[in-house]
Amino acid sequence: MSDEKVLLLTGASGGVGRAIIKGLSDAGYQLALHYHDHFEELTALLDEIKPRTKVALFQADLRKEDEVREMVRSVVTAFGKVDVLVNNAGTSLSAITWKQSLDDWNNIISLNLTAPFLVCKYVLPIMRSLEYGRIINVSSVVAHIGMPGTTAYAASKAGLEGFTRSLAKEVVGKKITANVLAYGYMDAGMIDVLNEEMKAIVRSMIPANTFGPTDDILSALLYLADEKTTYATGQTLHVNGGLYM
């Protein structure tokens, strides 16, 4: 089994996922990259990364337990272990509460909250056997400040943070940490769905008056994932330009 750390990143084909993959490989991680759709978005990155580190793709619908179970099994077959799990996959379907469909609500909760639970459920036996692990669940500033049209999204991310705090207490005895990275409006990812007028409104709310660089997300992830970061667990690390303090 390689001494190099194996990192499983869900939602790797999204804007933020693609933005941090190269940095994770530069940091020396072997990469198990999950995607659901948009395989083509990853192919150019893979060609660049493969000469430097071991990397493989794993497709799954994280809302389905059998597919999550099979994905984790495939990752272990390919890499032998999982040292770091980054639950990055997520979705947002904005709607005012009284106009939100139940189907959309359930889809958001399922992908943003239930899916991280399922991935943790099947990764944790591996980490417990290793007596080592780093779990990083990706949340959002919206869970803390609230925004109109995001009740489902905010609820899912707030729930994820509560899940992580309880999980941290369950696994700390096996030298596994579980933390949350809650970032704000960055220069990649979900911000891309806004038109320029809405982007200007959101930017004006941020004390830093700019969207955040994805390098800041990478730096925060690398800190939480580091084997030397042993005493930070059950915490939420905020990266939002002062939007929430």
Q: Which residues contact 224 (CB under 8 A, 6 or more apart)?
A: 134, 136, 177, 179, 181, 232, 237
Is residue 153 part of the annotated active site? The answer reads yes
Helix (H, G, I), strand (E, B) or coil at 180: strand
Q: Which of 29, 35, 122, 153 is catalytic?
A: 153
**Which residues lie below 8 Å from residue 217, measured CB to CB, with a gap of 6+?**
16, 19, 20, 181, 183, 186, 239
Q: DSSP 3-state assignment of 194?
A: coil
- What pairing do the DSSP bridges indicate for beta strands 6-9 and 30-35? parallel
Contacts (Cβ under 8 Å, ≥6 apart) of 96: 148, 149
Give the residue numbers annotated as catalytic, written as ranges: 153
